[in-house]
């Protein structure tokens, strides 16, 4: 009788998060890990903002939480972030509302293994200055019927790396930037989790970690 080959369980992703503010995307991913829907481990959460609720969410979940900024590392916060991610065994970096540009040390340590989520259908409404309510205001101003969210790889240019996944959200007649932002944020939570699930399952293939 033919033997069934043993099933090889994929290694859990080892995630390192960078977040500047609320961290609701971080929380959505942590919830997916906690409930066994995502084969991953959260190794560390880093913020440039010492009072970011994202750091509090990390501490509550028992994940190392670090404040690293120009204030803590005036001589080289980029290198400090790269070192912290590596020391904590991260193999995939997840930007979750991180408001700083990623520097060459982090880009060099994690080539094509840094993800970002943007609250619009890139390449539309991306680039410098396109964050938060500015994005949703511009979408409404342009009279768009739909918007959405995009998960993409991070490179040295804002919002220009390869697109991995998108989801669409209808613009409603009475939307304000705030109501649109709230609906897109819900869609972001589902999209980020689903994209990470596909990476964890090998359905989306990234470059091998360094
Ligand atoms: C999200 O809209 C994300 O697309 C953008 O920043 C926001 C972060 O929200 N990059 P949160 O901190 O995850 O709640």
27 and 97 inside one domain: yes
- 6 in a domain, yes or no? no
Which of 111, 133, 157 represents a domain boundary (last residue)? Answer: 111
Task: Specify burial of residue 57 (Cβ count, 10 A radius: 0-12, 13-18, 19+).
Answer: buried
Number of the ligand 1 atom closest to the C-alpha atom of 181? 2
CATH number at residue 58: 3.40.50.170
Nearest CA to ligand 1 atom 1: 97
Q: Which domain holds residue 124?
A: 116-203
- 27 in a domain, yes or no? yes
Cβ of residue 118 lying under 6 Å from some atom of ligand 1: yes
If pLDDT is split at 50, 70 and 90, which confidence band does 6 have? low
Across the chain, the runs of DSSP E, i.e. the strands, are: 13-18, 40-47, 65-67, 92-95, 114-118, 146-153, 163-170
pTM for the predicted model, two decimal places:
0.94
Quick one: pLDDT at residue 156? Answer: 86
Pocket test for ligand 1, best of 27, 97, 181 (most atoms within 8 A of CB): 97
49 and 96 inside one domain: yes
- Mean pLDDT, the chain, as a whole number? 95
pLDDT: is 199 or 156 the higher one? 199
Cβ of residue 96 lying under 6 Å from some atom of ligand 1: yes
Q: 8-66, pLDDT tens digit by residue? A: 668 999 999 999 999 999 999 999 999 999 999 999 999 999 999 999 999 999 999 99
147 and 87 inside one domain: no
Q: 109-148, pLDDT tens digit by residue? A: 999 999 999 999 999 999 989 999 999 999 999 999 999 9
Which of 82, 111, 140 represents a domain boundary (last residue)? Answer: 111
Q: Is the pLDDT of residue 3 over 80?
A: no
Cβ of residue 126 lying under 6 Å from some atom of ligand 1: no
Active site residue 118: yes
25 and 99 inside one domain: yes
Number of domains in the chain: 2
Quick one: tokens of 96? 């979750």
Q: How far apart are CA 133 and CA 52, in angstroms?
A: 19
Q: Is the pLDDT of residue 2 over 80?
A: no
If pLDDT is split at 50, 70 and 90, which confidence band does 172 have? very high
Quick one: pLDDT at residue 157? Answer: 84
Cβ of residue 49 lying under 6 Å from some atom of ligand 1: no
- 1 in a domain, yes or no? no
Q: How far apart are CA 143 and CA 191, in angstroms?
A: 24
If pLDDT is split at 50, 70 and 90, which confidence band does 158 have? confident
29 and 88 inside one domain: yes
Q: Which residues pair with 148 in a beta bridge?
A: 168
107 and 188 inside one domain: no
98 and 128 inside one domain: no
């Amino acid at each position: 009788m033919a033997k069934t080959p043993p099933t090889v369980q994929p290694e859990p992703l080892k995630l390192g998060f960078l977040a500047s503010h609320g961290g609701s995307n971080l929380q959505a991913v942590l919830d997916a890990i906690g409930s066994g829907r995502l084969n991953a481990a959260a190794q560390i959460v880093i913020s440039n903002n010492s009072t970011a609720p994202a750091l509090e969410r990390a501490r509550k979940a028992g994940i190392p939480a670090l404040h690293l900024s120009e204030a803590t590392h005036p001589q080289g916060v980029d290198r400090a972030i790269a070192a912290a991610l590596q020391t904590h065994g991260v193999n995939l970096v997840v930007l979750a509302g991180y408001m700083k540009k990623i520097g060459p040390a982090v880009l060099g340590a994690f080539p094509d293994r840094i993800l970002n989520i943007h609250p619009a259908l890139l390449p539309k409404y991306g680039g410098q200055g396109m964050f938060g309510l500015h994005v949703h205001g511009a979408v409404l101003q342009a009279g768009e019927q739909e918007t959405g969210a995009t998960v993409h790889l991070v490179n040295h240019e804002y919002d220009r790396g390869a697109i991995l996944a998108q989801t669409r959200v209808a613009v409603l007649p009475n939307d304000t930037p705030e109501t649109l932002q709230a609906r897109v944020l819900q869609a972001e939570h589902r999209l980020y989790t689903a994209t990470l699930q596909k990476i964890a399952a090998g359905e989306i293939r990234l470059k091998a970690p360094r």
